[in-house]
Protein backbone atom coordinates (compact mmCIF):
# COMPACT_ATOMS: atom_id res chain seq x y z
CA UNK A 1 0.00 0.00 0.00
CA UNK A 2 2.89 2.33 0.61
CA UNK A 3 4.51 1.72 -2.73
CA UNK A 4 2.56 3.61 -5.41
CA UNK A 5 1.29 1.65 -8.37
CA UNK A 6 2.61 4.16 -10.85
CA UNK A 7 5.24 6.74 -10.16
CA UNK A 8 6.83 9.20 -12.54
CA UNK A 9 9.92 11.16 -11.61
CA UNK A 10 11.17 14.16 -13.56
CA UNK A 11 9.67 13.05 -16.80
CA UNK A 12 10.88 15.16 -19.70
CA UNK A 13 9.39 14.92 -23.17
CA UNK A 14 10.19 17.24 -25.99
CA UNK A 15 8.80 17.78 -29.46
CA UNK A 16 11.32 18.64 -32.13
CA UNK A 17 9.34 20.60 -34.68
CA UNK A 18 10.24 22.84 -37.58
CA UNK A 19 9.30 25.88 -35.54
CA UNK A 20 11.45 24.88 -32.61
CA UNK A 21 11.65 22.48 -29.70
CA UNK A 22 8.50 22.29 -27.65
CA UNK A 23 9.10 21.65 -23.95
CA UNK A 24 5.89 19.70 -23.67
CA UNK A 25 6.57 17.79 -20.46
CA UNK A 26 9.20 19.56 -18.45
CA UNK A 27 10.15 17.60 -15.38
CA UNK A 28 6.83 16.14 -14.29
CA UNK A 29 6.66 13.98 -11.20
CA UNK A 30 3.48 12.30 -10.08
CA UNK A 31 2.30 9.07 -8.56
CA UNK A 32 -0.87 7.03 -8.40
CA UNK A 33 -1.50 4.61 -5.57
CA UNK A 34 -3.37 1.34 -5.68
CA UNK A 35 -7.07 1.85 -6.12
CA UNK A 36 -6.72 5.62 -6.27
CA UNK A 37 -8.36 7.98 -8.71
CA UNK A 38 -5.99 10.80 -9.51
CA UNK A 39 -6.71 13.74 -11.76
CA UNK A 40 -4.31 15.63 -13.98
CA UNK A 41 -5.86 18.99 -14.66
CA UNK A 42 -4.93 21.91 -16.85
CA UNK A 43 -5.79 24.02 -19.86
CA UNK A 44 -5.56 22.70 -23.39
CA UNK A 45 -2.01 22.57 -24.53
CA UNK A 46 -0.46 22.46 -21.08
CA UNK A 47 1.05 19.06 -21.75
CA UNK A 48 -1.29 16.74 -19.91
CA UNK A 49 -2.06 14.52 -22.90
CA UNK A 50 1.62 14.39 -23.70
CA UNK A 51 2.27 13.28 -20.15
CA UNK A 52 -0.22 10.46 -20.51
CA UNK A 53 1.31 9.38 -23.80
CA UNK A 54 4.74 9.51 -22.23
CA UNK A 55 3.65 7.27 -19.39
CA UNK A 56 2.48 4.75 -21.95
CA UNK A 57 5.54 5.29 -24.11
CA UNK A 58 3.32 6.16 -27.03
CA UNK A 59 5.27 9.25 -27.99
CA UNK A 60 6.15 9.33 -31.68
CA UNK A 61 8.17 11.61 -33.88
CA UNK A 62 8.65 14.51 -33.65
CA UNK A 63 8.31 13.89 -29.93
CA UNK A 64 10.73 11.99 -27.77
CA UNK A 65 10.98 11.12 -24.10
CA UNK A 66 14.27 12.66 -23.06
CA UNK A 67 14.74 11.65 -19.46
CA UNK A 68 13.04 10.63 -16.28
CA UNK A 69 11.72 7.51 -14.66
CA UNK A 70 8.35 5.85 -14.86
CA UNK A 71 7.90 3.05 -12.38
CA UNK A 72 4.87 0.83 -12.77
CA UNK A 73 4.34 -2.20 -10.58
CA UNK A 74 7.96 -1.99 -9.62
CA UNK A 75 9.43 -1.83 -13.12
CA UNK A 76 10.89 1.16 -14.89
CA UNK A 77 8.80 1.36 -18.02
CA UNK A 78 11.30 3.57 -19.81
CA UNK A 79 13.95 0.89 -19.68
CA UNK A 80 11.83 -1.95 -20.97
CA UNK A 81 12.27 -3.34 -24.45
CA UNK A 82 9.56 -2.52 -26.93
CA UNK A 83 8.20 -6.04 -26.74
CA UNK A 84 8.00 -5.97 -22.94
CA UNK A 85 6.32 -2.59 -23.13
CA UNK A 86 3.75 -3.94 -25.55
CA UNK A 87 2.88 -6.57 -22.97
CA UNK A 88 2.20 -3.88 -20.43
CA UNK A 89 0.24 -1.62 -22.76
CA UNK A 90 -3.34 -2.64 -23.01
CA UNK A 91 -2.76 -5.31 -20.39
CA UNK A 92 -1.85 -4.05 -16.96
CA UNK A 93 -1.81 -0.43 -18.05
CA UNK A 94 -4.57 0.65 -20.38
CA UNK A 95 -5.71 3.91 -21.88
CA UNK A 96 -9.02 5.35 -22.92
CA UNK A 97 -9.03 8.16 -25.41
CA UNK A 98 -10.98 11.23 -26.11
CA UNK A 99 -12.83 11.09 -29.39
CA UNK A 100 -14.26 7.66 -29.99
CA UNK A 101 -15.07 8.32 -33.61
CA UNK A 102 -11.52 8.95 -34.66
CA UNK A 103 -9.97 6.56 -32.17
CA UNK A 104 -11.69 3.48 -33.52
CA UNK A 105 -10.71 1.76 -36.75
CA UNK A 106 -13.59 2.51 -39.10
CA UNK A 107 -13.06 -0.61 -41.13
CA UNK A 108 -12.99 -3.15 -38.36
CA UNK A 109 -15.93 -4.53 -36.51
CA UNK A 110 -16.22 -3.51 -32.91
CA UNK A 111 -16.02 -7.07 -31.65
CA UNK A 112 -12.84 -7.68 -33.65
CA UNK A 113 -11.21 -4.63 -32.16
CA UNK A 114 -11.89 -5.76 -28.62
CA UNK A 115 -10.87 -9.30 -29.42
CA UNK A 116 -7.57 -8.01 -30.67
CA UNK A 117 -6.86 -6.60 -27.23
CA UNK A 118 -7.95 -9.81 -25.53
CA UNK A 119 -5.86 -12.05 -27.74
CA UNK A 120 -2.79 -9.95 -27.14
CA UNK A 121 -2.89 -10.13 -23.39
CA UNK A 122 -4.66 -13.31 -22.45
CA UNK A 123 -3.91 -16.86 -23.40
CA UNK A 124 -7.22 -17.64 -25.04
CA UNK A 125 -8.34 -19.25 -28.23
CA UNK A 126 -10.44 -17.34 -30.68
CA UNK A 127 -13.83 -18.45 -29.48
CA UNK A 128 -12.89 -17.85 -25.86
CA UNK A 129 -11.58 -14.45 -26.83
CA UNK A 130 -14.87 -13.70 -28.52
CA UNK A 131 -16.69 -14.53 -25.32
CA UNK A 132 -14.34 -12.32 -23.35
CA UNK A 133 -14.96 -9.46 -25.75
CA UNK A 134 -18.70 -10.00 -25.43
CA UNK A 135 -18.36 -9.95 -21.69
CA UNK A 136 -16.42 -6.72 -21.82
CA UNK A 137 -19.14 -5.12 -23.93
CA UNK A 138 -21.80 -6.22 -21.50
CA UNK A 139 -19.75 -4.94 -18.65
CA UNK A 140 -19.69 -1.46 -20.04
CA UNK A 141 -23.43 -1.52 -20.33
CA UNK A 142 -23.98 -1.91 -24.04
CA UNK A 143 -27.41 -3.36 -24.74
CA UNK A 144 -27.74 -6.27 -27.17
CA UNK A 145 -24.02 -6.75 -26.94
CA UNK A 146 -24.14 -9.84 -29.08
CA UNK A 147 -25.34 -7.86 -32.08
CA UNK A 148 -23.11 -4.91 -31.38
CA UNK A 149 -20.08 -7.18 -31.64
CA UNK A 150 -20.56 -7.25 -35.39
CA UNK A 151 -21.21 -3.57 -35.83
CA UNK A 152 -18.84 -1.08 -37.34
CA UNK A 153 -18.01 2.05 -35.36
CA UNK A 154 -20.00 4.36 -37.58
CA UNK A 155 -23.15 2.45 -36.79
CA UNK A 156 -22.99 3.39 -33.13
CA UNK A 157 -23.74 6.59 -31.27
CA UNK A 158 -21.03 8.62 -29.59
CA UNK A 159 -21.75 7.33 -26.13
CA UNK A 160 -21.76 3.73 -27.29
CA UNK A 161 -18.48 4.19 -29.08
CA UNK A 162 -16.88 5.54 -25.97
CA UNK A 163 -18.14 2.51 -24.10
CA UNK A 164 -16.49 0.36 -26.74
CA UNK A 165 -13.21 2.14 -26.18
CA UNK A 166 -13.58 1.57 -22.48
CA UNK A 167 -14.45 -2.08 -23.08
CA UNK A 168 -11.24 -2.45 -25.09
CA UNK A 169 -9.26 -0.93 -22.27
CA UNK A 170 -10.73 -2.99 -19.45
CA UNK A 171 -10.93 -6.25 -21.35
CA UNK A 172 -7.73 -7.47 -19.76
CA UNK A 173 -8.60 -6.15 -16.32
CA UNK A 174 -5.84 -3.58 -16.06
CA UNK A 175 -4.35 -2.51 -12.78
CA UNK A 176 -4.46 1.08 -13.94
CA UNK A 177 -6.50 3.00 -16.43
CA UNK A 178 -5.43 6.29 -17.95
CA UNK A 179 -8.41 8.21 -19.26
CA UNK A 180 -7.52 11.14 -21.51
CA UNK A 181 -10.48 13.50 -21.64
CA UNK A 182 -12.89 10.58 -21.93
CA UNK A 183 -15.98 12.72 -21.99
CA UNK A 184 -14.94 15.86 -23.83
CA UNK A 185 -16.34 14.78 -27.16
CA UNK A 186 -19.66 13.69 -25.73
CA UNK A 187 -22.96 15.29 -24.86
CA UNK A 188 -23.35 16.50 -21.31
CA UNK A 189 -25.91 13.87 -20.42
CA UNK A 190 -23.74 11.08 -21.75
CA UNK A 191 -20.74 12.50 -19.96
CA UNK A 192 -22.26 11.71 -16.61
CA UNK A 193 -23.11 8.18 -17.67
CA UNK A 194 -19.60 7.50 -18.87
CA UNK A 195 -18.01 8.88 -15.74
CA UNK A 196 -20.28 6.78 -13.57
CA UNK A 197 -19.39 3.77 -15.64
CA UNK A 198 -15.70 4.46 -15.16
CA UNK A 199 -16.16 4.84 -11.43
CA UNK A 200 -18.10 1.61 -11.25
CA UNK A 201 -15.55 -0.31 -13.27
CA UNK A 202 -12.81 1.04 -11.08
CA UNK A 203 -14.50 -0.37 -8.06
CA UNK A 204 -15.23 -3.72 -9.67
CA UNK A 205 -11.73 -4.19 -10.94
CA UNK A 206 -10.03 -2.51 -8.00
CA UNK A 207 -7.95 -0.56 -10.43
CA UNK A 208 -6.50 2.90 -10.24
CA UNK A 209 -7.28 5.68 -12.61
CA UNK A 210 -5.43 8.69 -13.88
CA UNK A 211 -8.02 11.08 -15.23
CA UNK A 212 -6.76 13.71 -17.62
CA UNK A 213 -9.22 16.55 -17.94
CA UNK A 214 -9.83 20.26 -17.94
CA UNK A 215 -13.25 19.84 -16.35
CA UNK A 216 -12.92 20.64 -12.66
CA UNK A 217 -16.42 19.40 -11.95
CA UNK A 218 -15.45 15.87 -12.88
CA UNK A 219 -12.38 16.10 -10.74
CA UNK A 220 -14.36 17.18 -7.73
CA UNK A 221 -16.81 14.37 -8.10
CA UNK A 222 -14.75 11.38 -9.07
CA UNK A 223 -11.19 11.82 -7.94
CA UNK A 224 -9.26 11.45 -4.74
CA UNK A 225 -6.21 13.49 -5.58
CA UNK A 226 -5.37 16.09 -8.13
CA UNK A 227 -2.30 17.43 -9.94
CA UNK A 228 -2.60 20.83 -11.53
CA UNK A 229 -0.48 21.27 -14.60
CA UNK A 230 0.60 24.45 -16.30
CA UNK A 231 2.97 24.93 -19.24
CA UNK A 232 4.52 21.51 -18.97
CA UNK A 233 4.99 21.54 -15.21
CA UNK A 234 3.03 20.44 -12.18
CA UNK A 235 2.26 23.54 -10.21
CA UNK A 236 0.10 22.14 -7.46
CA UNK A 237 -0.80 18.77 -5.98
CA UNK A 238 -2.98 17.62 -3.15
CA UNK A 239 -6.16 15.82 -2.22
CA UNK A 240 -9.23 17.05 -3.98
CA UNK A 241 -11.02 18.51 -1.00
CA UNK A 242 -7.96 20.37 0.13
CA UNK A 243 -7.08 21.81 -3.23
CA UNK A 244 -10.60 22.90 -4.00
CA UNK A 245 -11.30 24.37 -0.61
CA UNK A 246 -7.93 25.99 -0.22
CA UNK A 247 -6.05 26.35 -3.50
CA UNK A 248 -2.45 27.34 -3.01
CA UNK A 249 -1.03 28.17 -6.38
CA UNK A 250 -2.26 31.41 -7.99
CA UNK A 251 -3.06 29.50 -11.15
CA UNK A 252 -5.25 27.02 -9.32
CA UNK A 253 -6.99 29.87 -7.62
CA UNK A 254 -7.62 31.63 -10.88
CA UNK A 255 -8.83 28.39 -12.41
CA UNK A 256 -11.33 27.80 -9.65
CA UNK A 257 -12.50 31.37 -9.77
CA UNK A 258 -13.22 31.18 -13.43
CA UNK A 259 -15.50 28.17 -13.26
CA UNK A 260 -19.19 28.48 -12.67
CA UNK A 261 -20.81 26.83 -9.78
CA UNK A 262 -24.36 26.99 -8.42
CA UNK A 263 -22.97 27.43 -4.92
CA UNK A 264 -21.46 30.77 -5.60
CA UNK A 265 -23.19 33.80 -6.85
CA UNK A 266 -20.96 35.46 -9.33
CA UNK A 267 -21.76 38.81 -10.82
CA UNK A 268 -19.05 38.75 -13.40
CA UNK A 269 -17.40 35.90 -15.21
CA UNK A 270 -13.78 36.09 -14.45
CA UNK A 271 -11.16 34.65 -16.71
CA UNK A 272 -7.47 34.32 -16.45
CA UNK A 273 -5.76 37.21 -18.13
CA UNK A 274 -3.26 36.72 -20.82
CA UNK A 275 -2.53 33.85 -23.16
CA UNK A 276 -1.29 30.35 -22.44
CA UNK A 277 2.45 30.40 -22.83
CA UNK A 278 4.35 29.38 -25.90
CA UNK A 279 6.03 26.14 -24.96
CA UNK A 280 8.85 26.66 -27.41
CA UNK A 281 9.98 29.82 -25.67
CA UNK A 282 8.29 29.83 -22.29
CA UNK A 283 8.58 32.86 -20.04
CA UNK A 284 11.69 32.91 -17.88
CA UNK A 285 11.39 32.14 -14.24
CA UNK A 286 7.98 30.95 -13.14
CA UNK A 287 5.99 30.18 -16.24
CA UNK A 288 2.81 31.61 -14.85
CA UNK A 289 4.23 34.92 -13.75
CA UNK A 290 3.03 37.04 -16.71
CA UNK A 291 -0.54 36.20 -15.82
CA UNK A 292 -0.18 36.03 -12.06
CA UNK A 293 -1.90 38.53 -9.83
CA UNK A 294 0.33 37.80 -6.86
CA UNK A 295 3.76 37.75 -8.36
CA UNK A 296 6.94 38.69 -6.62
CA UNK A 297 9.96 40.24 -8.30
CA UNK A 298 11.93 36.99 -8.20
CA UNK A 299 9.15 35.15 -10.08
CA UNK A 300 10.30 36.65 -13.34
CA UNK A 301 13.84 35.50 -12.81
CA UNK A 302 13.98 32.14 -11.05
CA UNK A 303 11.73 29.18 -11.62
CA UNK A 304 10.35 28.08 -8.28
CA UNK A 305 10.85 24.51 -7.09
CA UNK A 306 8.02 22.38 -5.84
CA UNK A 307 7.48 23.20 -2.17
CA UNK A 308 6.08 20.35 -0.11
CA UNK A 309 3.56 21.82 2.29
CA UNK A 310 2.29 18.58 3.77
CA UNK A 311 2.52 14.91 2.82
CA UNK A 312 1.12 14.74 -0.68
CA UNK A 313 0.43 18.46 -0.83
CA UNK A 314 2.64 20.86 -2.70
CA UNK A 315 2.78 24.03 -4.74
CA UNK A 316 5.36 25.30 -7.16
CA UNK A 317 5.32 28.92 -6.12
CA UNK A 318 7.67 31.38 -4.44
CA UNK A 319 4.87 32.46 -2.16
CA UNK A 320 5.48 29.34 -0.15
CA UNK A 321 9.19 29.67 0.20
CA UNK A 322 9.09 30.05 3.92
CA UNK A 323 6.29 27.63 4.70
CA UNK A 324 7.40 24.41 3.18
CA UNK A 325 10.73 23.02 2.15
CA UNK A 326 11.67 22.61 -1.45
CA UNK A 327 11.02 19.03 -2.46
CA UNK A 328 12.11 18.77 -6.03
CA UNK A 329 13.36 21.44 -8.44
Partner 1 sequence: MPTASLLLYVGGRLAQAVPILFIIILINFALIHAAPGDPVDFLIGATEATPEYIESLRREFGLDQPLWVQLATYLSKIVQFDLGYSLRFREPVLSLILSRMPATLLLMGTALLFSSAVGILLGVIAARRPYSAGDYAATFVSLAGYSMPVFWLGQIMLIVFALHMAWFPTQGMYSLRAPSQGFGRILDVAHHLVLPAITYSFYHLALIYRLTRVKMQEVMALDFITTARAKGVAEGRVVYRHALRNAILPVVTVIGLNFGFMLAGSVLTETVFAWPGMGRLLYEAIGARDYPVLMGLFVVLSVMVICANVLTDVTYALIDPRVVYR
φ/ψ of residue 307, rounded to 5:
-95, 125
When asked if residue 86 is in the footprint of partner 1 (CB under 8 A), the reply is yes
Q: How does DSSP classify residue 87?
A: H
Whole-angstrom distance, CA of residue 324 vs CA of residue 249 = 13
Per-residue contact string for residues 35-54; x = within reach of partner 1 by CB under 8 A? ------------------x-
- Among 104-112, 237-245, 247-255, 307-315, the segment contacting partner 1 (CB under 8 A): 104-112
When asked if residue 58 is in the footprint of partner 1 (CB under 8 A), the reply is yes
Residue 16's DSSP bridge partners are 21
Helix (H) or strand (E) holding 68: strand 63-72
- Among 8-16, 101-109, 221-229, 293-301, the segment contacting partner 1 (CB under 8 A): 101-109
Q: Tell me the DSSP string of 266-297.
A: -SS-----S-PPPSSSPPSSSTTGGG-TT--G
Size of the site for partner 1 (CB under 8 A): 29
Cα–Cα separations (whole angstroms), residue 66 to 63, 262, 279: 9, 44, 16
Per-residue contact string for residues 284-303; x = within reach of partner 1 by CB under 8 A? --------------------
- Smallest separation, CB 257 to partner 1 (Å): 34
Whole-angstrom distance, CA of residue 17 vs CA of residue 71 = 28
Nearer to partner 1, 109 or 253 (CB): 109
- Among 151-159, 201-209, 264-272, 278-286, the segment contacting partner 1 (CB under 8 A): 151-159
When asked if residue 73 is in the footprint of partner 1 (CB under 8 A), the reply is no
When asked if residue 166 is in the footprint of partner 1 (CB under 8 A), the reply is no
Whole-angstrom distance, CA of residue 222 vs CA of residue 224 = 7
- List residues binding partner 1 (CB under 8 A): 53, 56, 58, 86-91, 94-95, 97, 99, 102-108, 116-117, 120-121, 152, 154-155, 165, 168
Amino acid sequence: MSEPLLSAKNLVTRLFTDSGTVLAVDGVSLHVGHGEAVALVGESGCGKSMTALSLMRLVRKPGRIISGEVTFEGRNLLSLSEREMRDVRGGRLAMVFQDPMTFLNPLMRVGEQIMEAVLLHQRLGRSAARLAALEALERVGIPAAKNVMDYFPHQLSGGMRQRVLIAMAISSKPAMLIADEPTTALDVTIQAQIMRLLAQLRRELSSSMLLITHDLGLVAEYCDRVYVMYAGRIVEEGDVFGVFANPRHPYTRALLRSTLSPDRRIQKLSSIEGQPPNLIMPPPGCRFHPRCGEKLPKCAVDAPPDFALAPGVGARCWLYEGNGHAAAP
